[in-house]
């Protein structure tokens, strides 16, 4: 199956509860996916930059305890990780507020360590990143990243891209559209959503996806509980079971991507992978925060969805 690299940013996560309490954890879209992949038995490294502060050290220890490789994490002296607060409404829909302009992850592709890091990307069999990842680095950093991804793909790496679009992360839509065009042309698997594409391209988003529809494996999350899957020249809609109660939709898409990729890496067909994605996301949205508590890990549901590895979370103490 080969080793996977996930590229992005982890931040300090503050979760605001209905009674006003705030609890602290860590999260970030690709980091969430990396942890869920590790729990599902996938060999994965997280590629990012952190500071030399206690919170960064705590993050590293937590990732290592989850089985996520950290050898590719760069530490920057005197820097602090970003921070975000999650607030949820009565329906569990989340709102994020960020403090991250000086986060070390933003400089990942403009450091003395960057050339060796780009070379390392060529040694992975699979690389996962998101639209949030692209928004971190600025035009120059994105150029370096995209060139490295192109070389990694030429060396045999498969690339998975989640369109996860956050308007506040981009100074202008044209820059985002250019970056997304490059990734959509390069990615082997695309996780998209009607919400993301509508925010980025407006109501006329369908032609953007259509030009890649026959060349890529595309999972399009719809506005109702289902995804439209295009793979192998066929299109099918895979529905998701109703969920009640929905407590917090944070990391719903991240966990879906993890279970989907884990299933595909096990050799499962795309339809089975989509069902596995729904199975994990359904449980994640019934808990607060990005990372599902270990006691709530849905072993039976994932086994029923056809995922054969990672059910016992053996790597974690």
- pLDDT of res. 195: 96
Chain-centroid distance of CA 151 in Å reads 22
β-bridge mates for residue 236, sequence order: 229
Report all structural domains of the chain as residue ranges with CATH numbers, in order of start.
4-9+28-80+105-304 (3.40.1190.20)
Backbone angles phi, psi at 312, to 5 degrees: -100, 0
The residue assigned the tokens 């990842």 is: 133
**SS3 state at 237:** strand
Residue 239 structure tokens: 């529905």
Give the closest residue to 136 by CA, choosing from 159, 113, 102, 182.
102
The residue assigned the tokens 């995922």 is: 307
- pLDDT tens, the chain, 317 aa long: 689 999 999 999 898 888 889 999 898 999 999 999 999 999 999 999 999 999 999 999 999 999 999 999 999 999 999 998 988 787 777 788 889 889 999 999 999 999 999 999 999 999 999 999 999 999 999 999 999 999 999 999 999 999 999 998 998 999 999 999 999 999 999 999 999 999 999 999 999 988 887 778 999 999 999 999 999 889 999 999 988 888 888 899 999 999 999 999 999 999 999 999 999 999 999 998 889 999 999 999 898 888 876 554 544 43
Q: CA-based Rg of the chain, rounded to a whole angstrom? A: 18
Q: Model pTM?
A: 0.93
Beta strands (DSSP E) in 100-246 are 126-130, 158-162, 189-193, 217-221, 226-231, 234-239
CB-based contact 279:292 (threshold 8 Å): no
Catalytic residues: 254
CB-based contact 5:45 (threshold 8 Å): yes
């Amino acid at each position: 199956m080969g080793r996977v690299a996930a590229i992005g940013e982890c931040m300090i996560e503050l979760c605001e509860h209905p009674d006003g309490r705030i609890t602290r954890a860590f999260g970030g879209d690709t980091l969430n996916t990396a942890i869920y992949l590790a729990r599902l038995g996938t060999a994965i490294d997280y590629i990012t930059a952190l500071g030399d502060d206690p919170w960064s050290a705590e993050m590293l220890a937590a990732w290592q305890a989850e089985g996520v490789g950290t050898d590719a994490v760069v530490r920057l002296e005197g820097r602090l990780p970003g921070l975000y607060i999650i607030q949820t409404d009565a329906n569990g829909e989340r709102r994020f507020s960020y403090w991250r302009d000086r986060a070390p992850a933003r400089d990942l592709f403009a450091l003395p360590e960057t050339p060796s890091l780009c070379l390392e990307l060529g040694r992975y069999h699979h690389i996962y990143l998101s639209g949030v990842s692209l928004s971190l680095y600025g035009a120059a950093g994105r150029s370096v990243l995209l060139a490295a991804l192109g070389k990694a793909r030429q060396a045999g790496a498969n690339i998975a891209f989640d369109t996860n679009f956050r308007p506040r992360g981009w100074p202008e839509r044209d820059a985002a559209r250019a970056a997304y065009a490059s990734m959509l042309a390069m990615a082997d698997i695309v996780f998209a959503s009607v919400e993301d594409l509508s925010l980025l391209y407006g109501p006329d988003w369908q032609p953007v996806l259509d030009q890649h529809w026959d060349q890529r494996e595309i999972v399009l999350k719809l506005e109702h509980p289902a995804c439209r899957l295009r793979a192998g020249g066929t299109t099918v809609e895979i529905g998701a079971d109703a969920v009640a109660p929905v407590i917090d939709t944070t990391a719903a898409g991240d966990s879906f991507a993890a279970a989907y990729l884990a299933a595909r890496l096990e050799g499962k067909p795309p339809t089975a992978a989509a069902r596995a994605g729904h199975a994990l996301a359904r449980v994640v949205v019934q808990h607060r925060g990005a990372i599902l508590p270990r006691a709530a890990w849905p072993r039976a549901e994932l086994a029923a969805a056809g995922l054969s590895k990672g059910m016992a979370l053996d790597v974690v103490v």
